[in-house]
Amino acid sequence: MRKTLIGDGLAEADMLDDAALVAAQSALSRLGGEVPDLAFVFVSGGTPDEAASALLAAREHLGARTVIGCSADGVMGRGRGVEGRACVSVWAAVLPEVTVRSFHLEVMRDAETTAVMGTPSARSTDVVGVLLGDPWSFPAEGFLQGLPNVLHGLPLAGGMASGSTYRGDTRLLLNEHIYDRGAVGIVLGGAVSAQVVVSQGCRPVGQPMAVTAVDGLRIRGLASRSALDQAIDVVDSLDDEDRAMAIAGLQLGIALDEYSEEHEHGDFLVRSILGADRADGSIALGQAVPVGSTVQFQLRDEAAAHTDLSQTLSSLRDGGMFEQCAGALLIASNGRGQGLFASADHDIEVVRLGLGTDRVAGFFADGEIGPAGGRNHLHGNSATVLAFG
């Protein structure tokens, strides 16, 4: 009987095509001669054309039935993370009795509306999906908000391609095709044991508060005081180290269940505070927050991000969905890596240790996709893990 097998590969080389072949061979070497049913390829460095060539070179060498991937400014595999250099990461899997459906999403716009074409229809056997998008052209947040009406709330892992300086520089791979816009994805169904988790890497400060006044994307009132005054009070209550961190980038967590009496680890959808207005005492977010929502200020630092990822993996491992992890796909923010930790290896090392598997690969994304509170969201500065039993 065939069993689930997962392999990962990582290779650096002056020529990206050469790195693609080495990484693909490395991943295949862990599959016992089996042809992979699914493979992911991630390419960092080089020009857009060189990235496209490497994506296709890896796809040809892998011979997998379905191949998906993208360009990035950093990749992970074989226990290492590489940022800002020419490198290719490959993740390949033998998935017996699992169906794999692939799709490309095209964005159509006119003066008044935006439509996403190509979303696959839902099937009762669907288990999980993966979505990779172009940050310049694909409206990920809006698409994910409407997803429950299309794919019946199917949990998604994924992220936005990174590393592109200009519109049109992104390269997305789906089988034999290269795209420079939209999104590509897969839906896995059948006898697949897989689960998606997201680590947002924050810790709460202050107390939960109710939103009492809003104006569009601005929160004007928290607990019947100005939102800015509440933020200042929280910052002033912190020690010197935390205060400096809050001034550099205070976050706001929006409770996923405002009716809960207690809010703990993983109970908030974290969003960055984009600005404040002293004139009306408001703070600005990138999304609307309804009056009556429960929120709490949050801090993100190296220690909090490490602890949150470790706890998230522990909860997944102890949840009992599968006895042993065969491997995992990791999509981490490009704001993590060396920018947050001492090493770009941090997240992949923690995932390998936390799940008890050395078959992990992925990339550093410009926005991470994963579920929180039963719905898919576009996150920032987070880590999404798709683990396979």
Alpha helices in 29-174 (DSSP H): 48-62, 140-146, 148-151
Boundary (domain end) residue, out of 282, 299, 316: 299
Residue 330 and residue 316: Cα distance in Å, rounded?
Answer: 14
**Percent of the chain whose predicted confidence (pLDDT) is above 90:** 72
For 31-76, write each residue's pLDDT tens digit. 999 999 999 999 999 999 999 999 999 999 999 999 999 999 999 9
pTM: 0.91
Other C-beta atoms lying within 10 Å of the C-beta of residue 244? 11
Number of domains in the chain: 2
Between the alpha carbon of residue 187 and those of residues 76, 98, 102, 124, 203, the distances in Å are 23, 10, 6, 12, 33
209 and 287 belong to one structural domain: yes
pLDDT band at 1 (very low <50, low <70, confident <90, very high): low
Q: Are residues 188 and 222 in the same domain?
A: no
Same domain, 90 and 220: no
Residue 349's domain spans which residues? 5-199+305-388
Least confident of 13-17, 176-180, 243-247, 374-378: 243-247
Q: Which residues contact 142 (CB under 8 A, 6 or more apart)?
A: 114
In eight-state DSSP terms, residue 13 is -
Find the CATH number of the domain harbouring 207.
2.40.10
User: Residue 52, Cα to own-chain centre: how many angstroms?
Assistant: 22
Average pLDDT over residues 272-298: 90
Q: What is the pLDDT of residues 75-95, one digit of tens each?
A: 999 999 999 999 999 999 999
Q: How confident is the model at residue 2 (pLDDT cuts 50, 70, 90)?
A: confident
Residue 37 and residue 14 share a domain? yes
Length of the chain: 389
Give the rounded distance of the alpha carbon of 187 from its chain centre.
16
